[in-house]
Amino acid sequence: MAVAVRGSRGGGGSGFGGFSLRSFFSYRIFVSAMFSLLFIATLSVLFTTNPSTPHHDSALPTTGNAYMRRTFLALNSDPLKTRLDLIYKQANDHVTLVNAYAAYARKLKLEISRQMRMFDDLASNFSNLQMKPSYRSALFESDGPLDEDVLRHFEKEIKDKVKVARLMIAESKENYDNQLKIQKLKDTIFAVNELLIKAKKNGAFASSIAAKSIPKSLHCLAMRLVEERISHPEKYKEEEPSPEFEDPSLYHYAIFSDNVIAVSVVIRSVVNNSDEPWKHVFHVVTDRMNLAPMKVWFKMRPVERGAYVEVNAVEDFTFLNSSYVPVLRQLESAKLQKFYFENRAENATTDTHNMKYRNPKYLSMLNHLRFYLPEMYPKLHKILFLDDDVVVQKDLTGLWKIDLDGKVNGAVETCFGSFHRYAQYLNFSHPLLRERFNPRACAWAYGMNIFDLDAWRQEKCTEQYHYWQNLNEDRTLWKLGTLPPGLITFYSTTKSLDKSWHVLGLGYNPSISMDEIRNAAVIHYNGNMKPWLDIAMNQYKKLWTYYLDNDMEFVQMCNFGL
């Protein structure tokens, strides 16, 4: 082992010496080759460069290669030219910066005209300084060595201008930062507003669906009533009409609805607040589908305190057919069917205004029966029309005692300021409307209207309604609904009632004064948030549920969630 170790050391020393000698000679050869290549490359650059190219132009080079070339030539020609080149570049950089700030100020529309003029003047001063004949001839157009004194003076002037530019930029930076924040805030507000508009459209669409849909509880109640009718037919035989139904000395009400629970609340609220309920007669008209449930309800739950209820279907009035009623004839047209039934889901969220008039109630004859009251009840002199979404809080017999001064319709006006004027409901670009009606005329509300049927017949209001409804077959005078033709039909024959008779908005306005509501004779849940729906406003819902017949077994079974 010892011999092996010594032999290893000797052999290692001998090999190391040989390796060092060879490496030393290889390194010298390598270094010599590199210097030779570097020298050849330098000569190549010098000989390929055009020495006659001017060293300075009227503007600084804009590319990296050109700038390196000028710098290389300046190093080989005159050290002062490198200094001039750097000064020139600094000046040009600040000119660019000043111009950028001035352009940004114009874009932001800053009202600092003095500051913008200073920016423009400063940029011009930079350019004028470089174009001075003394500097141009001595520094930029001279082929010989540069004058150091001239260069120093030029440098001083440039630095003064640079200093001024930096001060101006520092002073104005805060303004620009604030303007930038304001602009970003405006952009954010715009984006949020777009989202809000979209959310409102979607909300209106969802609310419309909720308002148009039949609640499960209401459907359950109708089915229970029909089941009761089928199970006990002997209890619900047709009876002879009561003579009170045609007695003009009594107080008559007209209620047109397909909602059983809503009609019951209206009638209970009237009766409970009347001084002489046995003098009140209610004429309820519904469609054929809801006739049986409506009759069963009032048979099972007769109106208390001696009031009278008559229930009929639209079909019982045989004169209401398409040959006489323009609306029924128009509903048979292909155009109107296309408007209602084609692309409804697509158009609903893009046109919220038209979506309102796509409500199925505008297709129902129940909504247009109000224009045929004199023919439906030929022996009556006056009748009070009530919507099914109202609650009566006071005795209404005073309405029959109001002198209408020969007018047909007694109603509460809804205009305030420029809102709810005729121009909002009718298309006054049509020449016929411009000639006959005042766009600033005050609109009034349906929902609680006392009608003088004798004056109606004398004024031939139904014929007037037919005339205008026929003209509006293409919906150029108004969209849809009953208020616009009502405003036209009773334009000069409506008497304004005191606002305490009828307070509206409980189906859409959450900020109605409770004092105003308490003092009202009739409160009206007009809007989508009906009191029998889950979307109803809680602060108003209890005013409706107070008159709900909770003791009725089917109301409990159907769980109205009240």
pLDDT tens digit string along 373-424?
999 999 999 999 999 999 999 999 999 999 999 999 999 999 988 789 999 9
* Burial per residue of 421-438, b for 16 or more beta-carbon CB atoms within 10 angstroms, e otherwise: bbbebbbeeeeebeeebe
The 3-class secondary structure across 209-242, one letter per residue, is HHHHCCCHHHHHHHHHHHHHHHHCHHHHCCCCCC
Asked whether the predicted pLDDT for residue 508 surpasses 80, the reply is yes
Mean pLDDT of the chain: 80
pLDDT for residue 523 is more than 90:
yes
- pLDDT at 18 > cutoff 80: no
Alpha carbon distance 168, 1 (integer Å)? 87
Which pLDDT tens digit goes with each residue over 344-368? 544 444 554 555 555 556 667 899 9
The whole-angstrom separation of Cα 507 and Cα 525 is 4
Helix axes 260-272, 216-231, angle to 10 degrees: 90
Could you give the 3-state DSSP secondary structure of residue 285?
A: strand
User: Which residue has better confidence, 332 or 502?
Assistant: 502
Q: What is the pLDDT of residue 507?
A: 92
pLDDT at res. 451: 98
Backbone angles phi, psi at 410, to 5 degrees: -105, 120
pLDDT band at 59 (very low <50, low <70, confident <90, very high): very low
pLDDT at 545 exceeding the cut of 80: yes
What is the sign, positive or negative, of the torsion defined by CA atoms of 68, 70, 75, 76? positive
Residues 178-206: tens digit of each pLDDT: 766 777 888 889 899 999 988 888 877 77
> How far, rounded to the nearest angstrom, does the alpha carbon of residue 167 sit from its chain's CA centroid?
47
Q: Quote the percentage of the chain above a pLDDT of 90.
A: 49
Predicted pLDDT at 428: 95
Domains and CATH numbers, the chain: 216-341+358-558 (3.90.550.10)
Look-up: residue for tokens 């002199």? 381
* DSSP-based three-state secondary structure for 191: helix
Question: What's the rounded Cα separation, in Å, for the pair 280 and 215?
Answer: 31
Instruction: For residue range 115-166, list pLDDT tens digits in order.
Output: 556 666 666 666 666 666 666 666 666 666 666 677 777 777 777 777 777 7
